[in-house]
Amino acid sequence: MTPLWTSDEVARALSPVAMSGPFEATGVTFDSRAVGPGDIFFALAGESTDGHVFVADALARGAAAAVISRDVPDAVGNVVRVADTMAALVDLGRAGRARSTARIASVTGSVGKTSTKDALRAMLSAQAPTSASTASFNNHVGVPISLARLPREARYGVFEIGMNHPGEIEPLARQVEAHVGIVTNVEPAHIGHMGSEEAIADEKACLFAGMREGAVAVLNRDNRHYERLVRHARNFGVSRIVGFGRNETADARLVACRLQDSGSDVQALIHGRRIEYRLGAAGEHWVLNSIAALAVAEALGADIVAAAASLAEVKASPGRGARRRLAFGSGTIELLDESYNANPASVRAMLAVLARTEPAPGGRRLLVLGDMRELGEQADAYHAGLAQAVAASGAARVFLCGPHMAALWHELAAAQKGVHRPDSEALAREVATALRAGDVLAIKGSLGSKMKVIVDAVLAASGGEAGL
Ligand SMILES: Nc1ncnc2c1ncn2[C@@H]1O[C@H](COP(=O)(O)OP(=O)(O)O)[C@@H](O)[C@H]1O
Ligand SMILES: [Mg+2]
């Protein structure tokens, strides 16, 4: 197999101060826990620890080389000494991008980035060698590492780009140099750092900076900031705009769908061509993500009929809507695990899924919500604003935790009120003891709200996986 990187290529890309070798690398990582044989290990300065601490161990575990910026006396193996390891990672990412002949897509948006990226990975990898960002590797480290991992033989590459603060997207977009860029949507996520939805839209549009010739922008036709994004895309020199959504003028248009617990049957018109497919992930939000992904696949030059067929295999991932059936008492419970993230748009999407999920006989719908973080001064209003959607979800009891959820608590109908607690730890046991066989339980909150504590308590109280 051709190596991902040879030491000669690394030398050209990084212009190191000093270097030992030769070596051939099959992977690139900065994560000391994940480093394995053949990896290039980048010793990055983390928030709490400096990666240099792990260099000796990484080499002992078979890393092909370690990229360092200061001496590591006990290191045995190949080292690449540079002035700045973070800058060196960006250089390797750029070199990975520069040598690639793949068709490249970049994905940003307030919600649905990872879901859309993973749908694209499923579609494209069935057609040709494809490389896509791992998990949500979408920041100043995740993007260059994903580019550095792009195999030279890849025909398609899909890269997620995220932001928490203004100015973060453009430099990452310029590294990716995509042919096709998609903004899944613009919603109030991280609005605390961004100020307004318009500011979020303006930031997302920086995805279109530095794209390759003939660039295509795929935009959500149903989003209230569509026109604004079109203007930005044109200003960045994008040559073709593709709209997706329910809107009748959308180029990739959702015509009809039948939503079920286990997925959806979808009819779409993609540039006038009727496509029907089964989607393996539940919820209308997933249907729209799949239409978006089809629009991107078309723009990349993939076969859209085959791409649509691949969507049957696409499932929501753990913490992002993955469903689990757990043995419980004399029966089972169904767990909708959305513990990874939350903002108003994704909570509403989840509530719509909960409303359509039928409990087993004797069971109820139970809802657990933790604070949605980073919503700024309007945070309480965004939390209280969920009341109607919570009522419509059909939840028999609602368990809330976190200071902002107090605002929602006051809006709930008395019949739905379970308890409100300051944090997920205080709530976990109460949720677990409230459960009974037949229940459907949905758990959602921002990562910082630590809702996984409650997922774990539920798992511990259950008799384990029962299979769907
Ligand atoms: N188009 C969408 N609209 C609303 N919610 C969505 C959408 N796509 C995914 N979600 C939900 O949002 C959460 C985050 O999804 P994910 O794809 O990981 O987004 P991101 O990568 O943008 O953070 C999940 O709980 C998921 O179910
Ligand atoms: Mg993500």
Calculate ∠ Cα 269-273-274, nearest 5°: 60
How far CA 244 is from CA of 9, 36, 128, 350, in Å, comes to 40, 41, 24, 21
CATH number for 66: 3.40.1390.10
Task: Specify the pLDDT at position 173.
Answer: 98
For residue 252, what are the domain limits? 100-313
How far CA 345 is from CA of 80, 114, 309, 381, in Å, comes to 45, 15, 28, 14
Nearest of 116, 92, 120 to residue 104 by alpha carbon: 120
Task: Specify the pLDDT at position 468.
Answer: 62
Domain boundary among 313, 337, 372: 313
Task: Specify the pLDDT at position 164.
Answer: 87
Ligand 1 pocket mutation, candidates 106, 108, 110, 115, criterion most atoms within 8 A of CB: 115
The answer on 332 and 183 residing in a single domain is no
Residue bearing tokens 């286990």: 262
The answer on 264 and 117 residing in a single domain is yes
278 within some domain: yes
Ligand nearest to the CA of 113: 1
Pairing of strands 18-19, 79-81: antiparallel
Domain boundary among 41, 61, 85: 85
The answer on 293 and 193 residing in a single domain is yes
The continuous run of DSSP H or E covering 428 comes out as helix 424-434
364 within some domain: yes
Q: Within a 10 A sphere around the Cβ of 362, how many other Cβ atoms?
A: 12
**What is d(CA 404, CA 402) in angstroms, rounded to the nearest whole number?**
6
Phi, psi of 181, rounded to the nearest 5 degrees: -125, 135
The answer on 353 and 275 residing in a single domain is no
Q: How many A from CA of 261 to the centre of ligand 2?
A: 23
Q: How many A from CA of 349 to the centre of ligand 1?
A: 8
91 within some domain: no
Task: Specify the pLDDT at position 92.
Answer: 98
Task: Specify the pLDDT at position 2.
Answer: 87
Residue bearing tokens 């939000």: 285
The answer on 132 and 183 residing in a single domain is yes
What pLDDT, in 10s, does the model give residues 26-84?
999 999 899 999 999 999 998 788 999 999 999 999 999 999 999 999 899 999 999 99
One-letter identity of residue 280: G
90 within some domain: no
CB-ligand 1 contact for 367 (6 Å cutoff):
no
The answer on 359 and 263 residing in a single domain is no
Atom of ligand 1 nearest to the CA of 350: 27
The answer on 204 and 145 residing in a single domain is yes
Return the beta strands (E) in 192-341 as ranges. Answer: 216-220, 240-245, 252-260, 263-270, 273-279, 322-328, 331-338
CB-ligand 1 contact for 343 (6 Å cutoff):
no
CB-ligand 1 contact for 353 (6 Å cutoff):
no
Domain boundary among 257, 280, 313: 313
CB-ligand 1 contact for 290 (6 Å cutoff):
no
The answer on 343 and 446 residing in a single domain is yes
Indicate the number of domains in the chain: 3
Which ranges of the chain have pLDDT less than 50? none
The answer on 169 and 76 residing in a single domain is no
Pairing of strands 103-108, 180-183: parallel
The answer on 283 and 147 residing in a single domain is yes
The answer on 269 and 375 residing in a single domain is no
